[in-house]
Amino acid sequence: MAASMLKTQCFIFYLTIITLFSTLAVSDHRSNSDVFGKDISPSSLGLKREKLSHLHFYFHDIVSGKNATAIHVAGTSSNNSSLPLFGDIYMIDDPLTINPDINSKTVGKAQGMYAYSSQTEMSLLMVLNFAFTEGKYNGSTLSVLARNEVLNTLREMPIVGGTGSFRFARGYAQARTHSITLVHAIVEYNVFVFHY
């Protein structure tokens, strides 16, 4: 009888231990699998000290001709003379050069779109990436999502992100029209960006 009772107590003890460890394992698994996000160290992504960079280049927007870099993709069918451009959308693949001359060294491209977004002002919604192809920023991009009041002498637009050398980028771009014709606009950009 004592041996039978000892076996029963050992069985209950082992069953209790197994149940306890199983519960802890399931609980630990649930706590890890139910986590949507968690804090991590910047160094775990190889991020070092944050720095501030200044980039300077010229943006060439050519809207017609055989070398057009901006294509009208959508717009209103209205002939409303008070809102002639409102709603027009252009896709762009504009060269970025080191000088105002379009034949100067190309450092990247501005790729994305702009849309005439105001009924009362000459204002664009800009959604674009500056994709760099030269120097230490080759293969890196900066993203702009902004309102651009094109008739203002100096416009400021936010840098909302980036890739490559510009991961976790934030900052702003200052745009100043260098020259403009019916076909070709040259815009000077000074970009100030924090990145790692």
What CATH number is given to the structural domain containing 157?
2.40.480.10
Buried b (16+ CB within 10 A) or exposed e, 61-84: bbbeeeebbbeeeeeeeeeeeeee
Domain count, the chain: 1
* Residue 186: inside a domain: yes
Write down the pLDDT at residue 63. Answer: 92
Report residues of the chain scoring pLDDT below 50: none
Question: Is 1 among the domain residues?
Answer: no
Length of the chain: 196
User: Where does residue 88 rank: exposed (0-12), middle (13-18), buried (19+ CB within 10 A)?
Assistant: middle
Does 47 map to a domain? no
pLDDT at 10: 60
Residue 158 falls inside a structural domain: yes
Q: What is the pLDDT of residue 188?
A: 98
Residue 117 lies in a domain: yes
In-domain check, residue 5: no
- Whether 142 is in a domain gets the answer yes
Residue 149 lies in a domain: yes
Domain span including residue 181: 59-195
